[in-house]
Structure 1
Amino acid sequence: MNALLKRVWIGMAAALIVSLAATIAPDHVQIGDDGRIHLGAPAPTPSPSTVNPEPESTEPPLTRDAVDEAIRTALASAGLDPEQGRPFAAGAASKRTGWTAVREKNAAQAEMKAVCADLERQGWTLNPDPRGDRPEARSYKRGGWYLVVNTREKTGAPSTTSAPTGAEADLTLTGIQLNLSDIPLPEITVRIG
């Protein structure tokens, strides 16, 4: 009985590792027709059913100042005053930036859509969520940066709107500079089944 439980736990651990790896770095996980899962560098002989990842952008990396300007432009395009929110505190060399404000809940959804539309107009590419479309959050990528735009319901917080209501939401833009190719992944092949 202990051997069976051990196999079950090992199988569950392997499934968890693979699902986490597929979520974090989907272009570094290949699943072959024979049930083998390959993490890390591409498998030497990929099967025809393996999905090829999108090629990395040849666009030059963006600076943090350029991302800050993209955020300010998108906010202004949505009819928001970037000075009325709270920017994330970080140095000029930081790999993180952002902006947040408390808004009226219904307005936050409309403002989020307008911000997203302007980001797309600026050339940011929608980074689809593997869990499906989520109306409260959108992720974009461009020039080595990932930018997440989201709303989250808030209760009892001071508002940046002129007439606060009972239903408020945080409208947040979070930018993170991330280069997944710099993260070394070990080559691991797992056979399940």
Structure 2
Amino acid sequence: MNALLKRIWIGLAATLIVSLAAVVMPDHIQVGDDGRIRLGAPAPTPSPSAAVSTPEATSPPLTRDAVDEVIRTAVGAAGLDPAQGRPTGAAGADSNRTGWMAVREKTAAQAEMNAICADLERQGWTLNPNGDRADASRSYKRGGWYLLVSTRGKAQTPSPTSALTDSQTYLTLTGLQLNLSDIPLPEITVRIG
């Protein structure tokens, strides 16, 4: 009985690890035809019919200042004044975090979020739909940066003194610089079943 329980726990732990990895780095999970799951960057296999790389693969790295300008442009395209919100990232061009936030009426926030997202796509940002909810948040990637556009209520309250009314929400753009390709992943093969 102990051996059976041990195998069940190992299987559950392996499933949890694979699930978390699939959420964080969906490009690094491969499932074989035989049911084996392989973690790690896929080995490069040149193919004569290889597709042209996506714009993200050839996007040059963006600077913090460039991302700040992208955010200001997208906010302005939604008909908002960037100065009426407030920055959410630490000052300094060497920072790998940036953002903007404003308190908005819930009735207008969804349309404003949609306009911001449309402008990000116009500027060449690639939609990264893993885990997004079209009515509450969308994420984009480009040049080593990820942008999350969100209309979330009181869960993201920045301080106890800035309470929202029932008709208000936060409209936020959060930028984070990540280079996941520099993180070495071990090659792990898991056989379930």
- Report the Cα offset of residue 44 of structure 1: 8.8
Q: What CA distance in whole angstroms lies between the structure 2 residues aligned with 1:166 and 1:84?
A: 21
Q: What do the CA deviations read for 1:120-178 (whole angstroms, capped 9, x no partner)?
A: 1111111112x46432001111111110100012399457xxxxx64110100001111
Give yes or no for contact 2:132–2:138 (8 Å, CA) kept in 1: no
Q: Which amino acid aligns with 2:66?
A: A
Q: What do the CA deviations read for 1:22-67 (whole angstroms, capped 9, x no partner)?
A: 111111111111111111132699xxxxxx9x75511211111010
- Report the Cα offset of residue 84 of structure 1: 1.0
Determine if the alignment matches structure 1 residue 104 to structure 2 residue 105.
yes
Partner of 1:80: 80
- Taking every aligned residue pair, what percent have the same amino acid on both sides? 73
Specify whether residues 88 and 157 from structure 1 end up closer, same or farther in structure 2 by C-alpha distance, changes over 3 A only: closer
TM-score by length of 1: 0.85
List runs of 5+ in structure 2 lacking aligned partners. 46-50
Question: Equivalent residue of 2:116, what SS?
Answer: helix
Q: What CA distance in whole angstroms lies between the structure 2 residues aligned with 1:106 and 1:123?
A: 28
List runs of 5+ in structure 1 lacking aligned partners. 46-51, 160-164
Question: Equivalent residue of 1:16, what SS?
Answer: helix
Partner of 1:13: 13
Specify whether residues 42 and 105 from structure 1 end up closer, same or farther in structure 2 by C-alpha distance, changes over 3 A only: same
Q: What CA distance in whole angstroms lies between the structure 2 residues aligned with 1:117 and 1:187?
A: 38
Q: How many residues align?
A: 180
Question: Equivalent residue of 2:153, what SS?
Answer: strand
- Report the Cα offset of residue 118 of structure 1: 0.9
Partner of 1:93: 94
Q: What do the CA deviations read for 1:46-93 (whole angstroms, capped 9, x no partner)?
A: xxxxxx9x7551121111101000100111111111111110242210
Q: What CA distance in whole angstroms lies between the structure 1 residues aligned with 2:41 and 2:148?
A: 27
Give yes or no for contact 1:102–1:158 (8 Å, CA) kept in 2: no
Partner of 1:120: 121
Q: What CA distance in whole angstroms lies between the structure 2 residues aligned with 1:37 and 1:166?
A: 46
